[in-house]
Amino acid sequence: MKRILVTGGAGYIGSHATLELLDAGYDVVVVDNLSRGHRRAVEPARLREVDLLDTPSLIRVMQEAPVAAVIHFAAYIAVGESMKNPALYFRNNVAGSISLLAAMQEADVRNIVFSSTAAVYGMPSVVPIPETLPYAPINVYGETKVMIEKVLDWFGQTQNFRSVCLRYFNASGADPAARTGEDHEPETHLIPLLFQAIRTGVPATLFGNDYPTPDGSCIRDYIHVSDLARAHIGAVDWLLKGGESRKFNVGTGAGYSVKEVVDAIARVVGQPVPHVWGPRREGDPALLVADSSKLQGELGWSPRDSALDRIVETAWRWYNR
Ligand SMILES: NC(=O)c1ccc[n+]([C@@H]2O[C@H](COP(=O)([O-])OP(=O)(O)OC[C@H]3O[C@@H](n4cnc5c(N)ncnc54)[C@H](O)[C@@H]3O)[C@@H](O)[C@H]2O)c1
């Protein structure tokens, strides 16, 4: 049984990918310092409470048993926080990733799937966004991901590393069996914030209804976290079969507006969603939708659970677990 090391496996996407890997017959060991994740999200016997910056401990984890590939989710993810505290983000996301790569080199583990983001494109000039657009991040968080994509290219050229960078759009939804789900602190994502508004009765503030879109609110590409998790299995399989390094968008190509999300929640949950419209937020493009034809063509991946009502229904079930 091939062993996969998952960093950030106590977090939202990493905990779903871990379940998906186990379902697919892989063995999994998780590295997480629990700074933003949840102990309950990982089977205790699989968890190694290690910080990415602790290279010797990472090497020891990789030497417990042979590791075929690493899936690297561990990072801080809040754009606003990254602009207030860039040192925190460069240290954790960039220095932390470099520490991981140094450990991999030492332990002779050379396959890695990296969590990248649509934020590497900034305000894209072409939508749906193809992978060929140049890097143009407009915040520190996006810059940290660009830097590691480039570092991975150099580890490919100089150290025989092979990598798949998956640039996710808006991860959403929860495991359909409600074994894990989304729980960020601070929470910045739309669907859990709207659930909080229903629970507390305090209206959620939504940013901007005067964009040049059909209903005036921003359009985003919501990808169900289980579909996202399956893209990681595809990427691991690709690397283990000897595939070359790749960079892929992971989205559906179909966007939903903020208003459509609010309406879907009201419909699925059967309750009104308290909300108010505030001004636009700086740096928010009107439309962010992925062209994922490359991922579909090369890995044979396609979304199964990403219809909006399915996303809301699975997220709500987990929220009320
Ligand atoms: N959620 C999204 O919509 C989205 C979109 C694009 C990209 N991503 C990327 O996907 C990855 C996972 O995102 P998520 O939403 O699951 O975030 P999350 O915060 O739920 O999970 C991240 C996990 O990494 C751990 N971690 C952070 N720094 C660490 C360190 N130094 N050492 C060890 N563990 C550490 C945290 O404790 C947490 O469990 C991130 O790399 C993020 O940038 C997420």
Dist CA 132 CA 120 (whole Å): 12
Q: For residue 183, tell me if it sits in a domain.
A: no
d(CA 210, ligand 1 centre) in Å: 31
Enclosing domain of residue 299: 190-220+253-319
Same domain, 75 and 209: no
Report if residue 179 sits inside a domain: no
Is 267 domain-assigned? yes
Same domain (yes/no): 215, 229: no
* Each residue's pLDDT tens digit, 253-269: 999 999 999 999 999 99
User: How would you class 108 by CB atoms within 10 Å of its CB: exposed for 0-12, middle for 13-18, buried for 19 or more?
Assistant: exposed
Say how many Å lie between the CA of residue 77 and the centre of ligand 1: 6
Contact status, residue 21 vs residue 4, Cβ threshold 8 Å: yes
When pLDDT is cut at 50, 70 and 90, the band that residue 283 belongs to is: confident
Task: Report the alpha-carbon distance of residue 57 to residue 280 in Å, rounded.
Answer: 44
Distance 5 CA to ligand 1 centre (A): 15
Dihedral, 303, 198, 19, 42 alpha carbons, nearest 10: 150
Same domain, 108 and 205: no
Residue 184 CA to ligand 1 centre (angstroms): 9
Give the Å distances, CA to CA, from 184 to 43, 75, 205, 229, 281. 19, 12, 18, 18, 20
> What percent of the chain has a predicted confidence (pLDDT) above 90?
97
Mean pLDDT, residues 68-93 taken together: 97
Domain with residue 84: its CATH number is 3.40.50.720
Nearest CA, atom 28, ligand 1: 75
Q: Is 141 considered catalytic here?
A: yes
Q: At what angle do helices 55-64 and 96-107 cross, to 10 degrees?
A: 40
- Shared domain for 15 and 98, answered yes or no, is yes
| Residue of 76, 89, 141, 256 with catalytic role | 141
Instruction: Pick the closest to residue 318 from 61, 7, 16, 4 (CA basis).
Output: 16
* Same domain flag for 228 and 284: no
Check whether residue 84 and residue 168 sit in a common domain. Answer: yes
Closest CA relative to residue 311, chosen from 270, 235, 256, 234: 256
Question: Would you say residue 184 lies in a domain?
Answer: no
- Atom from ligand 1 closest to the CA of residue 52: 32
Pocket-forming residues, ligand 1, beta carbon under 6 Å: 8, 10-14, 32-37, 51-52, 73-77, 92, 96, 115, 117, 168, 170-171, 184
The structural domain count of the chain equals: 2
Judgement on whether residues 296 and 273 belong to the same structural domain of the protein = yes
* 182 neighbors 315 (Cβ within 8 angstroms): yes
Mean pLDDT computed over 85-95: 98
Task: Name the closest-CA residue to atom 35, ligand 1.
Answer: 74
Q: Does residue 30 sit in the same domain as residue 164? A: yes
Residue ID of nearest Cα to ligand 1 atom 34: 32
Q: Do 22 and 161 fall into the same domain?
A: yes
Structure tokens at 137: 């991040």
What is the full DSSP assignment across 131-185?
TTSPP---SHHHHHHHHHHHHHHHHHHHH--EEEEEEE-EEE---TT-SS----S
Whole-model pTM: value is: 0.97
From 13, 79, 167, the mutation candidate for ligand 1 (largest count of ligand atoms within 8 A of CB) is 13
pLDDT averaged over every residue in the chain:
97
| Position 265 in a domain | yes
Q: What percent of the chain has pLDDT over 70?
A: 100
pLDDT band for position 69 (cuts 50, 70, 90): very high
Looking at the structure, tell me whether residues 292 and 202 fall in a common domain: yes
Mutate to test the pocket of ligand 1, among 16, 29, 35, 116 (most ligand atoms within 8 A of CB): 35
For residues 34 and 66, state if they share a domain: yes
CATH of the domain at 287: 3.90.25.10
In tens, the pLDDT along 188-242 reads: 899 999 999 999 999 999 999 999 999 999 999 999 999 999 999 999 999 999 9
Q: Are both 216 and 136 inside the same structural domain?
A: no
